[in-house]
Structures are given as C-alpha cells and as structure tokens.
C-alpha cells in the first residue's frame, strides 16, 4: 500500500512557469504517461537538481581513464565496453585495448580476430564486432575521423540513441540526452514515476525528462554525473538517500517509494540445459608434428559466440548423455565422435539458459567407407596456438584444463 502522501506533487502553478515550463506542461498533458510527479516541469526545480548533482560530481566523481582525455574515440570505446558490464571490470580491458588500438585507424586495420582476442572475457562479443565494423566505416567514409553529427554517428554499426548522445555530449559538448540503466532508475525516482521503465510510455517520458534536464553548458558533465550517482548512490537496492545531494528534491524519497521505483521489469525465466563439449586430440598417426593438437573451429555467423573459436560442442538442444550428444554432433562434423572419460563440468549462464556443461575426452573415426580428413572449417591446434585464438570464457577454461592435464602427464 502506498503512503498517505503518495499523490504526485501538484504545487506548480501557471504563474511561476517559464515559457519552456509551459511547453513541458503542455507536452505532459498531451501525452499518456505513467503516474509521476509534476516537479520536473518547474525550471527552478530542474536548476536546483542540476546544482546539487554537479556539485556532488565535482567532488566525488571517480578517476576513470576515459575521463582524463575525452576524445570521441576514447569515449566511444568506453561506452561500448560499459554496456552490460561493470566499470571495475572494464578499466583493465580498456587500458589493454587502447594500448593495442590507440587510434581509429589502428582499430580498423586490425583483424576481427585480434579485436575479439582483446575482448575475451567481457562477453557480449557482438559489441566488439560492431565496434570493429564501425571503425572501418569511419576510415572509409570519414577519413578516419570520428564524425561529429548525430545523424552520422547513429548510422554507425552498434550505435544507438543512448551511445550517440553519450559520445557527442561528453566529447563534443553537444546538448544531447542519454538514457541507460542507471539514468532510467535515477530519473524515475527523481520524478516519482511508477511502472516499469521499459514500457513505451515510460521510455518516452524519461527521454523527454532527460532532454529537459540538460544544462546549456557542459551537458556531458550532467550526463556523466547522472550515470555516476546511479552507480554509486541511487543503487537498484538500498539506495544511499542520506548521502544523496538531491534527496530533498527527489519525489521517490519524499514519498518513501525508493524500493518500489522504478517498477519491476519482468524477470528472465531461465531454462536449465545440459550441454556437452568434446576434447578431441589428434591421433599420432594423423599428425605431422610432435605436440598434441586439439580440434576447434571458428564459429560462423548466426550461432552463439560468432567470430570466436570453440571445441565441438552442443548448443542447440539439451542432451541426456555424452553418447547421444556425440551422435548428434557427428552428422554435423562429418565423422563419428566417440565420447570417453569425463574431464570436468562447468556451470554458466548464456542469455536465458543456465547451462551444465559436461566436458569429455573423445576419440574420432570416419564413417564406414569414408577416409579420414579434417572437415572445414575445423582444424587441429596446439595449446600454444589455442592461447592466441579468441574464445568464450568456458572455452578458455577448457584450454586451461587441457594445459593442466598436459603438464601432469
């Protein structure tokens, strides 16, 4: 049950509204929006929130590598890495990435495999592939200079409204709003917006609010500050309202609804799945070198982890046993997989699946009447070669297991 003072504030009179405030009131009244407070239609309220937020940000902002030299390229790389990933995780990857690809031209000239190798462990590998593709577009169409118009930026692969706004506001001072996970939560609480932030009407309202909140000077600082306060104080659970510089202006704080706002997004319903990976070692009679080699392939478009390398693995369905899984993969590979001893098991999550991955040593043999050959695009590779191929986290753990086994043998 809502508190007795849960009604949105209605103390904004037309006499105290500026011309821009009147425009916001008119927009609010002409658009169907979730229940929320009217506070944000007052320029005085907006100015007060900006002052409190920016003052706090000046004192409390984190020292992050992309903030010390906010060129479009550096901001772009950081924003792509930060999608779905914590800042603490990104920092090390960012330094390594920028050391190897200090310019757009350097990134464009690199192979996709090099780029993915630097992304290994960050997940969501489509981000890296889009980043690489966009760098090549910039070289080809913009003389290797990051474009500065919103229309040109949002046309690049992997860049949407939020990312374009973040890059151009932070690096170029353009007055463009942003809306992502942290700011959705912060803005919803500031205006006391009920309902899930992913609803179409809620998203429309929050973008309008984000635009109205932008100062005429240094809009990038405001955008960064809004994201920062969401990460550090206005957390999803147990927000630090006592330490918040704008708590006195926050509608959710006034109503005691911090725990209910923003409205809950429908939770992902995970499906349990058992998958199998097979470590297939090249037979000495088929090998031309002394070192042990293992069967892997470059994953094609349209499958999980496209662009990375992986061992033979079932990913399309769950299997009850290694024998059935091996039989299911045999037709795809063009030879028979003969599962052997179980090496290990791993538990991990991919999208909506909670996966129990069973890893088995395996033998191989041609189908009756066939001669043996390595089917394309598969190849045998040594552990040293595998170390230089980009892989998923679970794939890399399999390599580590092989290395440990080799060192003990």
| Closest of 104, 110, 71, 77 to residue 91, by C-alpha | 77
Per-domain boundaries in the chain: 14-71+146-255, 271-408
Alpha-carbon distances, residue 108 vs 82, 103, 138 (angstroms)? 21, 9, 8
14-71+146-255 is classed in which CATH architecture? Orthogonal Bundle (1.10)
Longest dimension (CA), the chain: 91
Q: Which residues contact 87 (CB under 8 A, 6 or more apart)?
A: 62, 64, 231
Alpha-carbon distances, residue 170 vs 74, 162, 173, 175, 181 (angstroms)? 11, 12, 6, 9, 18
Nearest-angstrom CA–CA distance, 375 and 299: 14
Unique residue bearing structure tokens 């002394």: 290
Nearest-angstrom CA–CA distance, 60 and 41: 28
Q: 305, 270 in Cβ contact below 8 A? A: no
User: Is omega for the bond preceding 377 within 30 degrees of 0, making it cis?
Assistant: yes
Torsion 148-149-150-153 (CA) sign: negative
> pTM, whole model, 2 decimals?
0.85
Quote the distance between the C-alpha of residue 192 and its chain's center: 27
Q: 378-381 and 271-280 as β-strands: parallel, antiparallel, unpaired?
A: unpaired
Residue 374's Cβ-count burial label (10 Å; 0-12, 13-18, 19+) is middle
Other Cβ atoms closer than 10 A to 373: 11
Q: Which of 38, 79, 228, 282 is catalytic?
A: 79
Q: By 3-state DSSP, what share of the chain in percent is helix, strand and coil, each rounded to 5?
A: 50, 15, 40
CATH no. for 271-408: 3.90.79.10
| Closest of 277, 300, 308, 312 to residue 389, by C-alpha | 308
Residue 79 known to be catalytic: yes
**219-232 helix and 43-60 helix, angle to the nearest 10 degrees:** 70
| Closest of 139, 161, 140, 138 to residue 150, by C-alpha | 161
| Closest of 285, 350, 341 to residue 314, by C-alpha | 350
Q: Which residues contact 301 (CB under 8 A, 6 or more apart)?
A: none
Q: 353-365 and 271-280 as β-strands: parallel, antiparallel, unpaired?
A: parallel
- The three-state secondary structure class of 100 is helix
Query: What string of pLDDT tens digits covers the 409 residues of the chain?
Result: 334 344 444 444 444 456 666 666 666 666 777 788 888 999 999 999 999 999 999 999 999 999 999 999 999 999 999 998 999 999 999 999 999 999 999 999 999 999 999 999 999 999 999 999 999 999 999 999 999 999 999 999 999 999 999 999 999 999 999 999 999 999 999 999 988 888 999 999 999 999 999 999 999 999 999 999 999 999 999 999 999 999 999 999 999 999 999 877 677 788 899 999 999 998 877 666 668 999 999 999 888 899 999 999 998 888 889 999 999 898 888 889 999 999 999 998 888 889 999 999 999 888 887 777 888 889 999 999 999 999 999 999 999 999 998 888 7
């Amino acid at each position: 049950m809502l508190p007795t003072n849960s009604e949105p504030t209605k103390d904004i009179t037309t006499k105290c509204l500026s011309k821009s405030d009147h425009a916001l009131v008119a927009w609010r009244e002409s658009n169907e929006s979730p229940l929320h407070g009217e506070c944000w239609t007052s320029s005085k309220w907006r100015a007060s929130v900006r002052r409190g937020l920016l003052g706090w940000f000046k004192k409390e902002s984190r020292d992050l590598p992309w903030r010390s030299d906010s060129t479009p390229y550096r901001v772009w790389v950081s924003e792509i890495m930060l999608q779905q990933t914590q800042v603490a995780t990104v920092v090390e990857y960012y330094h390594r990435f920028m050391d190897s690809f200090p310019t757009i031209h350097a990134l464009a000239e690199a192979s996709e495999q090099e780029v993915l190798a630097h992304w290994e462990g960050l997940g969501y590998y489509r981000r890296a592939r889009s980043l690489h593709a966009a760098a090549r577009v910039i070289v080809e169409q913009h003389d290797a200079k990051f474009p500065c118009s919103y229309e040109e930026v949002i046309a690049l692969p992997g860049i949407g409204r939020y990312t374009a706004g973040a890059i151009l506001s932070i690096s170029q001072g353009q007055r463009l709003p942003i809306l992502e996970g942290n700011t959705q939560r912060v803005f919803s609480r500031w205006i006391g917006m009920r309902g899930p932030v992913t609803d179409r009407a809620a998203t429309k309202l929050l973008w309008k609010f984000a635009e109205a909140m932008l100062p005429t000077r240094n809009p990038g600082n405001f955008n960064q500050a809004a994201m920062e306060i969401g990460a550090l104080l206005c957390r999803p659970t147990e927000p630090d309202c006592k330490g918040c510089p704008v708590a006195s202006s926050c509608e959710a704080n006034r109503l005691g609804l911090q725990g209910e706002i923003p409205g809950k997004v429908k939770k992902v319903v995970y499906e349990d799945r058992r998958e199998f990976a097979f470590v297939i070692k090249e037979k000495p009679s088929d090998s031309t070198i002394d070192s042990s080699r293992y069967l892997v392939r470059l994953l094609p478009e349209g499958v999980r982890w496209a662009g990375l390398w992986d061992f033979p693995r079932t990913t399309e369905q769950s299997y009850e046993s290694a024998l059935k899984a091996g039989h299911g993969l045999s037709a795809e590979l063009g030879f028979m997989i003969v599962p052997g001893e179980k090496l290990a098991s791993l538990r991990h999550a991919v999208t909506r699946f909670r996966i129990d991955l069973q890893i088995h040593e395996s033998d191989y043999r041609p189908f009756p009447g066939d001669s043996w050959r390595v089917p394309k695009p598969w190849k045998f590779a040594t552990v040293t070669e595998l170390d230089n191929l980009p892989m998923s986290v679970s794939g890399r753990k399999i390599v580590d297991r092989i290395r440990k086994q080799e060192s003990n043998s």
